[in-house]
Structure 1
Amino acid sequence: MTDDAATFTTRSPATGERIAEHPVDGPDEVARALSRARDAQAGWAALPASRRRDHLLRWKKALATGLGPVARTIAEETGKPAGDAALEVVLTLEHLAWAARNAERVLRRRKVGTGVFTVHQRASLVYRPLGVIGVIGPWNYPLYTPMGSIGYALAAGNAVVFKPSELTPATGLLLAGLFDAAVPEYAGLLTTVTGPASTGDALARSGVDKLAFTGSPGTARKVMAVCAETLTPFLAECGGKDAVIVTADADLDAAADAIVWGALSNAGQTCAGVERVYAVREIHAALCARVAERAGKLRPGAGPDATYGPMTLPGQVAIVEDHVTGAVSAGARALLGGPESVRAPFVAPVVLTGVPEDAAAMTEETFGPVMAINAVAGVDEAVERANASRYALGAAVFCRSGRTGAAIAARLRAGAVSVNSVLGFAAVPALPFGGSQDSGFGRIHGEEGLRAFTSVQSMTVQRFTPPIALTSFEVPAATRERAIRMARALHRRR
């Protein structure tokens, strides 16, 4: 941040060099963005769903055409390799395409059945857009993660005011600029406001019809408290401490390969990344050897040959170092790396084993390239330990039988589980994503993600005058008693 309260500076996470200056948008700027969004949303909501689909697919095409510049912006602001940034754009395109093409089917008026005493009514559910959605996005996946709310909210007929992380504002501005260029007749429907936490606070207080937030549990509680003042609906995705269970008959090479990728991609800065591994004792040593060997070949850096980049958030380096140092001091064994792996802004891969279950490295979100692989007596103990976390976002199971793996997965408290892969669910747009407890609440993606940005309206239309009208003061007492006897007789049956 600069001393000038009106602007802030973004810097390269790898070098610290200045990238750009951006305005600090305050309550007035946020209010103007909200007003423009409301004006645009009225016409957007009135469009047939097929027209909204066409507009969104045009935006998707613009994003795909501009994949190179978008990926470069992401890489510059986050420090992640260009290939990883490009993959983030590709995953975003998949989700935007699904939301655009499925909104009409998912949100169409739906008929529901009626009962014996309401046979004269035609009943249906109507999904109505909420209005203007506020989105506060993260810095680790500055396009993919917020678009899980932005794309689905727009497809459902809403407008969006987006506040990206102060570390990645250019990505958010580019996203909105591409929308305006692709859909100029609805300029203002998606607006990006920039700034630090104060801008997010202004957005939460602005009168948006729902706020979707991604960030830490502590920050989520503060933002949620602001929303509670006006009963503004709130959706929170707050990270995880994801566990992987490896059974005795699992393919250890496949498990090791997936674990290393899940723990180290994006420098471990993934909310649903691998942080804890529970391996059945008889294969624990073999798995550890495979993981350490693979991880040992990987190197962080800023050059084109680097496997992953720097820690994007400077303060996270100290947290990673504290977790690793604390675990080793508490008796854990470093199979690869250790406290010396932390050389800000980079952290080399760290593989630990024998980490006490009450250590911070096992209970708190490390959000760095660190994994702990602990031995367990069997699957029951692995499930118990995996579920002991106050986070409940994602998980994975590696098992020879997919059916057995799915049965183990069903016992886990996580909101999303992959069997014989990690993060498999993230690339399937039809699957909802979200967690519980300190991982937040609510769902993005899939049908639930579309409905999350609507208000459900129940509707009945009377088709004919009922033979027994119970909603009138004119109903004779004898008629009412006869209806009660009929109901009693009906419901005494099984």
Structure 2
Amino acid sequence: MTTLTFDSLNPATGAIVGSHPKHTADAVHEAVGRAEQAAAWWAALAPAERRTRLLDYKAVLTQHLRELAGLVQEETGKPAGDAALEIVLAVNHLDWAARNAAKVLGRRRVSTGMIGVNLAATLEYLPLGVVAVIGPWNYPVFTPMGSIAYALAAGNAIVFKPSELTPGVGVRLAELFKESVPEQPVFQTVTGLGETGAALAADPRVRKVAFTGSTATAKRVMAACAENLTPLVAECGGKDAFIVDADADLQAAADACLWGAMSNAGQTCAGVERVYVVDSVYETFMRELSERVTKVKAGEDYGPITMPGQVDIIKRHIDDATKSGRVVTGGPDSVRGAYVDPVIVEDVPEDSPSVREETFGPTITVRRTRDAQEALELANASAYGLGGTIFARDRRRATELARMMRTGMTAINSVISFAGVPALPFGGVGDSGFGRIHGADGLREFARPKAISRQRFALPGMNLTSFTRGPEELERLIRLVTFLHGRRKR
């Protein structure tokens, strides 16, 4: 029987990078079966042994960093430096997950309180089993490894379905893992189109799905998961806002804003798409931004649009913005095949598609605001809520604005910096999804809490969970609870 294949292409040149099988539902079923057996073996290893294997995998990835970055560059078109940077970040997260899993997830005693004075209680987090990871193409190492590394550290086996645009990267990640864990298929990659991912999400033996992609696709994945009550962690992109307060370092703000919006051709889920600048510094900020953007070139500083269909969305948003707003740089002619030159447009109405919908391209809209409070209100008036940025010198004020921003993460006087801190959870609210990867929350996301209580001794005259309980025992309980909790505090 002939195995159907598909090609991955270099979006910058159109050249074929590699051919990969379109794994059928039966092939996915077999992979999950292998993973189920491997999961039992992996979970049975001592946490210290898993830690050693994962740290060895970290070393293997580091040794192959240049090779892997070259493959990322070929399949996405991004510059080699950007490809290397995302692998460095992934390695850093893998290191943190391996070193902290036992401390975060291991068994610990918890207080039983006065009512449970005769009990001992413990809490630990146990592996789920098989975790399915459905990854994106924009950061084909860093983003899926944010789920893969933490799920592996929590003791699970992985079946990874990479984007059909970057299958070679996903295959290579699993191949390199075998150098550290050759005994069992703890980490497998299946390749294919949407049907392959759907078969993986629908398999009842998968205990959790980690998905990164569009909100629309997340809803379809969630529907497939619902058939088996399979839990889902979903990261669905954003429309992130960048607020510049009156006391901001405007040079630093302009520099960060431009990089956050244009790096990776704007194909960053937590990238800058909307900018709100307080009136008193607006003109100065715009001069800084306008001067800097002239030095940023598509094809040099960032690569092509990786997914061909995204170009139509970007063009539609540019057309909309330039008709209703004032062009600072770029315009409809900025779309040149797979490449899009930087586009900055001022005063675009807040109900425009270019402000409301995720663009995922090297474009930003900029708006003048009365003050930071108005900027915050506009930033929060979005269905999305992934990340955001505040630039302000007053640390207390900046922190207050960051806390009130309706996002899962906010960076102050930096851009997207939260993604590089392994101890911080990554995820959003609203149409940006739910659940968290990274950090202690990311480890617990791929584990199940196990609570155990043990009676150490019987309480004399207080056997409350028995049909032999008398009214005297209940009265003693009521008196105890009244003593402990009956005093009002004002």
Shorter-chain TM-score: what band? Answer: over 0.9
Residue from 229, 254, 257 that aligns with 2:227: 229
1:450-473 Cα deviation digits (max 9, x unpaired) = 000000111101111122110111
Query: For the residues of structure 1 that align with 2:241 and 2:115, how far apart are their CA atoms?
Result: 51
Q: In terms of mean alpha carbon deviation, does 365-374 or 18-27 score higher?
A: 18-27
Q: Count residues with an aligned counterpart.
A: 485
1:170-222 Cα deviation digits (max 9, x unpaired) = 00000000001222123x10000000100010001112000000000000001
| Maintained 8 Å contact 1:58/1:183 | no
Residue from 361, 367, 375 that aligns with 1:368: 361
Query: For the residues of structure 2 that align with 1:388 and 1:176, how far apart are their CA atoms?
Result: 41
Residue from 58, 61, 67 that aligns with 2:59: 61
1:278-300 Cα deviation digits (max 9, x unpaired) = 00012112111211211111111
- Please list every run of 5 or more consecutive structure 2 residues that lacks an aligned counterpart in the other structure: none
1:43-66 Cα deviation digits (max 9, x unpaired) = 211111111110000000000000
Query: For the residues of structure 1 that align with 2:479 and 2:295, how far apart are their CA atoms?
Result: 77
1:395-454 Cα deviation digits (max 9, x unpaired) = 000011222211111111111011100011011000000001100000000000000000
Scaled by the length of structure 1, the TM-score of the pair is 0.97
| Maintained 8 Å contact 1:402/1:420 | no
1:396 corresponds to 2:389: yes
2:169 partner amino acid: T
- Please list every run of 5 or more consecutive structure 1 residues that lacks an aligned counterpart in the other structure: none
Aligned to 1:336: 329
The residue correspondences of 1:16-95 to structure 2 (distance < 5 A) are 16-95=14-93
Query: For the residues of structure 2 that align with 1:466 and 1:211, how far apart are their CA atoms?
Result: 45
The residue correspondences of 1:42-441 to structure 2 (distance < 5 A) are 42-186=40-184, 188-207=185-204, 208-301=206-299, 306-330=300-324, 332-441=325-434
Query: For the residues of structure 1 that align with 2:477 and 2:101, how far apart are their CA atoms?
Result: 42
1:377-404 Cα deviation digits (max 9, x unpaired) = 0011000000001100000000112222
Query: For the residues of structure 1 that align with 2:366 and 2:229, how far apart are their CA atoms?
Result: 43
1:490 CA drift (Å): 3.0
Aligned to 1:472: 466
1:266 CA drift (Å): 0.2
Query: For the residues of structure 2 that align with 1:396 and 1:233, how far apart are their CA atoms?
Result: 30
SS at match of 1:433: coil
Scaled by the length of structure 2, the TM-score of the pair is 0.97
1:117 CA drift (Å): 2.3
Percent identity between the aligned chains? Answer: 54
2:80 partner amino acid: A
SS at match of 1:355: coil
1:242 CA drift (Å): 0.4
| Maintained 8 Å contact 1:134/1:210 | yes
Query: For the residues of structure 2 that align with 1:352 and 1:251, how far apart are their CA atoms?
Result: 22
Query: For the residues of structure 2 that align with 1:234 and 1:177, how far apart are their CA atoms?
Result: 26
Query: For the residues of structure 1 that align with 2:251 and 2:477, how far apart are their CA atoms?
Result: 68
Query: For the residues of structure 2 that align with 1:472 and 1:435, how far apart are their CA atoms?
Result: 47
Query: For the residues of structure 2 that align with 1:489 and 1:411, how far apart are their CA atoms?
Result: 39
Task: Please list every run of at least 4 consecutive aligned residues from structure 1 whose deviation after the TM superposition is greater than 6 angstroms.
Answer: none
Query: For the residues of structure 2 that align with 1:61 and 1:42, how far apart are their CA atoms?
Result: 25
1:5 CA drift (Å): 8.0
Query: For the residues of structure 1 that align with 2:247 and 2:480, how far apart are their CA atoms?
Result: 59
Query: For the residues of structure 2 that align with 1:88 and 1:483, how far apart are their CA atoms?
Result: 58
Alpha-carbon RMSD across the aligned residues, in angstroms, is 1.1
SS at match of 2:327: strand
Q: In terms of mean alpha carbon deviation, does 483-492 or 449-458 score higher?
A: 483-492
Query: For the residues of structure 2 that align with 1:452 and 1:416, how far apart are their CA atoms?
Result: 17
1:374 partner amino acid: R
| Maintained 8 Å contact 1:140/1:312 | yes
Q: In terms of mean alpha carbon deviation, does 115-124 or 229-238 score higher?
A: 115-124
| Maintained 8 Å contact 1:246/1:278 | yes
Query: For the residues of structure 1 that align with 2:242 and 2:14, how far apart are their CA atoms?
Result: 35
SS at match of 1:118: coil
1:116 CA drift (Å): 2.2
1:139-176 Cα deviation digits (max 9, x unpaired) = 00000000010000000000010000000000000000
Aligned to 1:490: 484
1:91-110 Cα deviation digits (max 9, x unpaired) = 00000000000001111112
Query: For the residues of structure 1 that align with 2:395 and 2:169, how far apart are their CA atoms?
Result: 39
Query: For the residues of structure 2 that align with 1:324 and 1:429, how far apart are their CA atoms?
Result: 35
Query: For the residues of structure 2 that align with 1:429 and 1:50, how far apart are their CA atoms?
Result: 20
SS at match of 1:244: strand
Query: For the residues of structure 1 that align with 2:379 and 2:423, how far apart are their CA atoms?
Result: 26
Q: In terms of mean alpha carbon deviation, does 479-488 or 151-160 score higher?
A: 479-488
1:136 partner amino acid: I
| Maintained 8 Å contact 1:351/1:370 | yes
Query: For the residues of structure 2 that align with 1:396 and 1:235, how far apart are their CA atoms?
Result: 24
